[in-house]
Amino acid sequence: MAGPQPKAIPMRNAQELFGKIALTNHYEVSFSTLNQSVLNHIKTKFNVPDAANFICRKTGVLCSEASLPTTSYATAEVKGDFMGIPQEFAHTRLYTDIDFTFYVDRDYNNLKVFEGWMDYISSGSKATKTSSNYHRRFQYPETYKCDTMHITKFEKDIEKNPDRKISYQFFNTFPKSMTSIPVSYGAADLLKVNVSFNYDRYVVKV
């Protein structure tokens, strides 16, 4: 015998519900300052004298696309506790890399900052890069990881409704990869760079 059928949502309530869906184009990205050794490397090797100010104040503004993070669990399968019923149990929380797209300014400082940051990570050998016996030696993680990075998602009426937001704080981030940047003759377009960041963990702030 069939049970009672769920009641249909009135049209007025449906309109109110779907009229409150969040939009994608209101967010803010920010970085804490980098280790002084990274900043010195960017300044001397990539000619960005005010790298600390650029990272803290301008890089987040130049972020044209961002991603809210996701997470998953690694599990182990257990058989035999109940006959014919396998079970899975979580044992490790996994954090996937997060991707950002940044506009490149006319002085290419944004590109130089990320190139310099990544170059510092493998610059421990102190060898001349153009020599035939050049080799790489990687720096210690505590020297190149950024303490915190934030991405806050909000709505355009944030001033009237300050609670309508969600913020993610990432710990110990660093650029893991940069995608190639295509350039071509023809119609001009805005130059962008895609950067994938790795991090140890994140927390949600509401």
Q: 100 with 65: CB under 8 angstroms? A: yes
Contact partners, residue 147, CB within 8 Å, separation at least 6:
32, 171, 172
Measured torsion, CA atoms of residues 116, 121, 127, 130, in degrees rounded to the nearest 10: -50
Q: What is the pLDDT of residue 129?
A: 67
Q: What is the pLDDT of residue 72?
A: 93
Q: 34 with 116: CB under 8 angstroms? A: no
Closest CA to 197 of 112, 117, 77: 117
Q: What is the pLDDT of residue 21?
A: 81
pLDDT per 10-residue tile (average), the chain, 206 residues: 61 64 88 92 93 91 92 90 84 94 94 95 77 82 94 89 91 95 91 96 92
Measured torsion, CA atoms of residues 105, 107, 108, 114, in degrees rounded to the nearest 10: -100
Q: What is the pLDDT of residue 107?
A: 94
